[in-house]
Homo-oligomer: A and B are copies of this chain.
Amino acid sequence: MAETEAAAPTRRDRKKQQTRAALMAAALRLVDERGLEHVTVEDISEAADVSPRTFFNYFATKDDAVLGGPLPNGPSMHDRLLAVPADVPLVPAILQAMSADIAEIQSERDFWLTRLRVIRNNSSLLPLLIARGECAEQETVTAVAARTGLPADSLFPQLAATLTGAAFRTAMMRWATAGDNLYDLVRETFQVLETGLAPTHQEVMR
């Protein structure tokens, strides 16, 4: 019963989804073409065929339309990380917990490449992306704490979350520049994290 309800989007639901997608596509395209400072909310709304007031029913800020919402639905990072078998070392476990997100990004490659290019070309957007990531990292903190038996407010779980987040973002930006397979890039950065940041055994890296 509850499943049937969730599976049957109404015309309303569909129209909302379409409007949201249109706004995001318009924002991304226009900012890609002209730069963030030269695109107004009115421009974006016009391109998506809604009023500016409606824009703000979908996005709190202009930047949000460019950056898009969080990655959709699915189980939380917390649940995914705890679902990885306990005998998997921590960093590979985090990678595994992220693999669905990574696959989704890879499957929408063109869209994401545009988005990341826009972020790179409009410098005010990257800190926003990073800050977003850091807020979402709280789920990772609590999951790492649960896996390791450490208190959530101790250094290690927090560090694990922020460092894997930073490594992931670094891999993303490299993928956007000249990468093929996002998963491989993330795995590579995570390996550095796992073994330690020392050039002695990293100098063979490209």
Contacts and interface: CB of A to CB of B under 8 A. Distances in A.
Interface string A89-121: 111000000000000000000000000000000
A149 B147 CA distance: 38
A148 B193 contact: no
A121 to B, nearest CB: 14
A123 B132 CA distance: 10
B192 A156 contact: yes
A195 interface: yes
A148 to B, nearest CB: 4
Count of identical protomers in the assembly: 2
A163 B174 contact: no
Interface of A: 89-91, 123-124, 126-128, 130-131, 134-135, 147-150, 154-156, 158-160, 162-167, 169-170, 174, 188-189, 192-199, 202-203, 205-206
7 contacts: A124-B131, A127-B130, A130-B130, A156-B202, A163-B192, A194-B197, A196-B196
